[in-house]
């Protein structure tokens, strides 16, 4: 199960407390919301911290190169 809920397009990490005596879940609560998260995450072995990648607003690709028919070009170069 992914603890990241969605609200207003900004990922949010949520938690639920569990009553140890009954096993009943409590009310969900938002831990934090962050629109700069990228991909997956992990939790430290002690369960105290999240490890995740964040997108940097200034780190935008400056250009994209699209190569078409690359397989034919490769075959021509290697004699296939």
Q: Kind of pairing, strands 10-15 and 29-33?
A: antiparallel
**13: CB partners within 8 A, 6+ apart:** 3, 4, 5, 30, 31, 32, 33, 50
pLDDT at residue 26 in the model? 93
Pairwise pLDDT comparison (6 vs 20), residue with the higher score: 20
pLDDT at residue 19 in the model? 93
pTM of the predicted model over 0.85: no
16-69 per-position pLDDT tens digit: 999 999 999 999 998 888 777 777 788 899 988 888 887 777 766 677 888 898
Pairwise pLDDT comparison (2 vs 14), residue with the higher score: 14
């Amino acid at each position: 199960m992914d603890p990241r809920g969605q609200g207003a397009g900004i990922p949010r990490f949520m938690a639920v407390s569990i009553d140890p005596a009954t096993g009943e879940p409590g009310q969900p609560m938002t831990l934090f919301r962050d629109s700069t998260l990228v991909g997956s995450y992990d939790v430290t072995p002690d369960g105290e911290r999240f490890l995740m990648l964040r997108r940097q607003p200034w780190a935008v690709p400056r250009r994209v190169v699209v190569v078409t028919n690359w397989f034919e070009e490769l075959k021509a170069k290697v004699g296939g």
